[in-house]
């Protein structure tokens, strides 16, 4: 099946710094990428949907200036958590596909801890 | 809004035991229902799905039946293996397929 690679798998950063998470489709072109977040003991929640070459669409309650999403190519999308705070500590997962969320392939996730 | 509720984990079983992970949903319209599995260190993978009432999804010995009357989609397997140890997510989507709504995930641990 299609492979989606997410990097890094885990990261620890200091409060106030920015962290970039990469999501790559290794063997197919992903026109659409989805970013999810999962807090401990909570559901996996969709943060935003990005289409290659256009601005991401953010879900209600997600701060677009804090979670910068770039989808500049058909194989790479990045999520940058700017000025991270401990409450941003979470598990971030991307999925990549060619339109429908149900047909996208998932990365392995990134565990972010802000200290 | 639409939501998915699945049983709290972790679920700990011995090899060859029977598995049930409960999942119920709240949705408008007629959603499609899914079970995803995440093995350690890997991304979520689609395990099975059902697109309409009374459909049964099945894969790798796992089954789930779309029950509209009870708004449920419980995951079952007759005899689990150690290799089934993973996190299982129940999910639904809207009719357009533009969004997936997940449950919290249930961790299954199978020992030999």
**Of A31, A29, A26, A23, whose CA–CA distance to A3 is shortest?**
A26
Nearest beta carbon to residue A102 from set B45, B100, B104:
B100
pLDDT digits (tens, 9 = 90+) for A101-112: 778 899 999 999
H/E stretch holding A7:
strand A4-7
pLDDT given for residue A95 in this prediction: 93
Q: How distant is the Cα of A34 from the closest Cα of chain B, in angstroms?
A: 9
pLDDT given for residue A1 in this prediction: 66
Radius of gyration of chain B (CA): 13
Cβ-defined contact of B43 to A105 (cutoff 8 Å): yes
pLDDT digits (tens, 9 = 90+) for A39-95: 887 888 999 999 888 889 999 999 999 999 999 899 999 999 999 999 999 999 999
Enumerate residues 6+ apart whose C-beta is below 8 A from A32: A49, A50, A51, A52, A96, A97, A98, A99, A104
Quote the CA–CA distance of B103 and B89 in Å, as a whole number: 6
pLDDT digits (tens, 9 = 90+) for B93-104: 866 667 789 999
**How would residue B55 be classed by pLDDT, with cut points 50, 70 and 90?**
very high
Instruction: Kindly list the residues from chain A whose CB atom is less than 8 angstroms away from the CB atom of residue B31.
Output: none
> Which SS3 state, helix, strand or coil, does residue A101 take?
helix
Instruction: Kindly list the residues from chain A whose CB atom is less than 8 angstroms away from the CB atom of residue B39.
Output: none
């Amino acid at each position: 099946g299609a492979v989606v690679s997410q990097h890094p798998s885990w990261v620890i950063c200091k409060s106030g710094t920015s962290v970039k998470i990469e999501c790559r489709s290794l063997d197919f072109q992903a026109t659409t990428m989805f970013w999810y977040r999962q807090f401990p003991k909570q559901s996996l929640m969709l943060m935003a949907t990005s289409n290659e070459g256009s601005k991401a669409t953010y879900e209600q309650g997600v701060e677009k200036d804090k979670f910068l999403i770039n989808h500049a190519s058909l194989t790479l999308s990045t999520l940058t958590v700017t000025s991270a705070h401990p409450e941003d500590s979470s598990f971030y997962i991307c999925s990549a596909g060619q339109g429908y969320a149900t047909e996208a392939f998932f990365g392995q996730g990134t565990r972010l801890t802000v200290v | 809004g639409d939501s998915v509720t699945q049983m709290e984990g972790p679920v700990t079983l011995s090899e060859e035991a029977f598995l049930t992970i409960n999942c119920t949903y709240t949705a408008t319209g007629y959603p499609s229902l899914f079970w995803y599995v995440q093995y350690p260190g890997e991304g979520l993978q689609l395990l099975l799905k059902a697109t309409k009432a009374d459909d049964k999804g099945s894969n790798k010995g796992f089954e789930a039946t779309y029950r509209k009357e009870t708004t449920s989609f419980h995951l079952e397997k007759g005899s689990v293996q150690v290799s089934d140890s993973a996190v299982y997510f129940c999910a639904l989507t809207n009719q357009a397929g533009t969004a997936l709504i997940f449950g919290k995930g249930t961790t299954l641990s199978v020992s030999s």
